[in-house]
Every structure is written in structure tokens, then in C-alpha cells.
Structure 1
């Protein structure tokens, strides 16, 4: 397929690269000209604007930082996309923003899916992302050949906006696990127990998780090179808290995790990986 890709950041660049490897013709745009050049070097085509990336595409994918960027780009995709365009927004944004995009697109004959992802930079590079998709069933089926090039789990979770709600649930769970792993490391070290050995045991038992599998060693070494930045997780926790309010439910642990992530950001760790929650727990303990 001819695919327009807007947003070539930490996640978007490897995703676009995997689409090229799968045989699709990818035209990409990003505010960073360097990232556009990198895509071209991989066999894609660089675009000079959003409109340039959208023109002639069968499918358009956006991978943007937050709702304001999607609200800016989506109208251009809808206006300049070809008839019956399939527009897949893979950003993590507010569910109401996804519903707004879907309503606006439907009025212009554009098919829209919200399809946020989980798996981090490693999953984007390896093409093993978990993709939660909101939208019409027939549009999800049409998108599967594209989505399977990006992930190993593609699940239709409901109508427009449902993908974003599931992503909010994902992020509150991820944040909570990072917080608990951080507390486990602090407890082990303060008790004179080797945290490497301790976490190896935890990872092999019922406490095991993808986070322990991928991050326990770098957390013990205090290596926080960003795969997913605290700044972005702070934004996502805000989405989760807002979604809980909209649904009329109380999520007390989510609220506490949101405050820990906010503390990490306030302490100047926003550009670090979200595993840097460990720094907040350490600071609480002097």
C-alpha cells in the first residue's frame, strides 16, 4: 500500500521502517528534517509537509506526542486525503479527541481508527507492539495487513475512542508496576540483599512481568536512557485520571502513581525513561 506516515520520533521512525521492510511504499513527514532524511535513507520517501505526506496515500498513520498535535494534523489528513482514505492514529491521546476526529472524518468520507500501542521503543524496533484498536469492524479488518507489520498483537477493542481507553488502562498498570519494582529495589538494597539476584527470582515467579524482563537490570544499574520518557507517561497518567472521572469510577492507586510520575517530572527527570520512578522512591527514602 501507499502509506503516509506523520511523526517520526522514537516510536514512529522504527514503525515506518518496519512498514518499508514489509513492502509498503512509505512517505514520511516530521518536524525534524533529519528524521525525514533517515526515513529516505531506509528506502522511504521524504515529505516536506503533512499535506505532501497525505497526498496519494491509501493509508495515513499518525504517531504524535499528544492531543493538541493530533487536533492540528487530523484536519489536514481529512481535508487532503483521497476518497475512502483509511486514517490510523496511533498516538496516545484523550479518548474524546479520538471520538472528535472520528466524527469529523466520517462527515468527509474518511475511515478512522484509533490504534495506540504498547511495547515501547524495543517493541517498535522489533515489530512486536501490542495494538489496541478502536473503530468500525470493517475498517479494522482493512487495516490488519498494515498493523501486522508493526505488532504481534492486534485487538479490536470497541468503537472510536475505545483504543485510547484501553491504552489509558495499560499506562496506569505500567506506571504502577514501575513504582512497585522501584520499591522492591529500595527494600532489597536497604536490607543488604543483592537486588540482581532478588529481581531474577521475582521475574521467574508470579511477580514476573514484561517490565521485570526488560528493565530490572538497567534499573539496578540506574541506567535511564529513554525508551519512553517520564514526560510522556505524565501526560498518559493525566489521560487515565481524566478517563476515570469521565467514567465515574475511583482509581486510588492510579491517582497515587500519577503523583509519583508528576514528582519525577517536577524533580527534573522528565527526559529520562519512565523506569526513573526509582529516583523518586530513592529520594523519599533519603
Structure 2
């Protein structure tokens, strides 16, 4: 039985850790809030009192935390993963962070005697619960092969997309596509409602044509119901779009639609709506037309 340390039991991390337990892995979890650890223990996992405690016997260490500084804080330093995990362990980072940081940390991990893959995920909370996440993975072919059995327990589409940092680059592209789609869907629903169309029927027929998408399937009803309970928070999408726009600027390319949506998301976060689901983009779209 493979021993897995899972660090970061949030909206995505907790159901992923539970799926690893259900797949037969021996999972020890650590999280800043003990309530999440208790939920993992109730599901058949184990709890740790610190990062060092979680990783000491682990064959695989999985991190799922919000941002680049959080990942660095978990793996670096005397209390971090690199200083306390056993030699030869494999580190899988499922967080969504800057590609350059992912590459730097992977190089540090390899130098310390660990395997490393960056494996950000897409599919939202429901995808994590159902174990059908899409996982874009960067790292060596050898480390990817070692990571695959673990990733197969939490995802459905697992693809090796290149060397260290490549997974994060593809995830940034994913977040660009999702944000622009949510904005387009928000504008379309506002348009339909303004003309008094049966919106349920409209989304059904739109979903069956070229306009259909997973964004429409997963976010359309939430927007119609004005239910912005977070599956993926606007604050996190704001962070991801910051990665996109910064990386695009560094590469010397233009992302006009992405940049425009990034500003809308930033505006919502700045006014205090960062805790809403990213489908909350509809709120600002409606307000710009004097509607709710």
C-alpha cells in the first residue's frame, strides 16, 4: 500500500484526498484548519499535526494549496516537505501556481533527491468529488509514470504535457478559456432574460449546439438561480488570471479578451466578492446594464 501525505484539504483537496482513501491508498492529511483533517479521518484517512509529521513516512506527497507563496512555504524551510520527507519520495503539486515557480521548485526537489511533477487540475469542486478531474502534468516521463496511479484515483483525463512547469502553463491556458466562457455565458443569459425568453429552454438548446460547453453545463443553472456558492472562488480565478496576463506580457503576446475579463474579475474581488463562485461574474455584467 502506497503511503500518501496530502497537504491542503480545502474545497478541492478534501474530496481528492477522500478519493485516494477510497482507492485503497493510506492517506495522511494536514491542513491549517483542523476541521478538514477531522473530515478526512472520518472518511478513513489519518491526521497529522504538522507538515513534517504528515510526510515522514510518505512515498508520495501531494500539495493542494492556493498560490505560489503557499506552495513554497509548504515545501521549503526546516519544517517543510524537502527537509522532512524520505529520500526518493515523489512530490505531486496539484495547486495552480506560476509556471516559473513550479519549474524552480521542481529543480529544488530533484536536487534534494525527490521526484517532482506539477499537476494542476480542472473540473471544479464537483469534478473533485466525482473523481473526474482533468489533470495536466509537467515533469520527467519517469516521474509522470510514478504519479499516474495516484492521479488516476482523482482524475479522468490525465495527460503528460511536457517538462517541469508545463502543467502550470496549460492550466493557465485553461483558466483563460474558462474565464472568457463564463463572461460570454453571463452576457448571453442577460441578453436572453432581457428579451423574456424561456431561459431554461434556451440553455438546453444552446447546450446541444456549437455553443455548448462544460461551462454552460456547470454554470448556466447557477447563474439562472443566482446561486454563487463557491465551487471555485473568484479570488482564486483572479490569481490565475494574474498568472495568465503576466506570462503573456513576459512572452510578448496579446490576450485582449483575457485581459478584459481579468479586469472584471479584479473589480469583483476588490469590492469584496472574491468569496463567490467565478460564475459571480454575472453580477457585474448585469449591474453594468442596470440589472440584477
Alignment RMSD: 0.8
Partner of 1:79: 83
Q: TM-score if structure 2 supplies the norm length?
A: 0.96
Q: What displacement does 1:285 show?
A: 0.4
Match of residue 194, structure 1, among 180, 185, 198: 198
Partner of 2:120: 116
Match of residue 283, structure 2, among 254, 274, 279: 279
Unaligned runs of 5+ in 1: none
Q: What displacement does 1:249 show?
A: 1.0
Note if 1:135 corresponds to 2:135: no
Partner of 2:37: 36
Note if 1:51 corresponds to 2:52: yes
Unaligned runs of 5+ in 2: none
Give the alignment of 1:166-185 within 5 angstroms.
Answer: 166-185=170-189
Deviates more, 1:74-83 or 1:133-142: 74-83
CA offsets per residue over residues 177-234 of structure 1, 9 Å max, x none? 0000000011111122122221111111000000111221121111111000001100
Partner of 1:70: 71
CA offsets per residue over residues 6-54 of structure 1, 9 Å max, x none? 0000000000000000000000000001111111111111000011111
In structure 1, C-alpha distance between the alignment counterparts of 2:66 and 2:234, rounded to whole Å: 13
Partner of 2:168: 164
CA offsets per residue over residues 240-277 of structure 1, 9 Å max, x none? 11111222211111101101111221232111100010
SS of residue paired to 2:53:
helix
Match of residue 211, structure 2, among 207, 212, 220: 207
SS of residue paired to 1:205:
coil
In structure 2, C-alpha distance between the alignment counterparts of 1:254 and 1:67, rounded to whole Å: 21
Partner of 2:27: 26
Match of residue 256, structure 1, among 217, 238, 260: 260
Q: TM-score if structure 1 supplies the norm length?
A: 0.98
In structure 1, C-alpha distance between the alignment counterparts of 2:256 and 2:190, rounded to whole Å: 23
Q: What is the number of equivalent residue pairs in this alignment?
A: 286
Partner of 1:221: 225
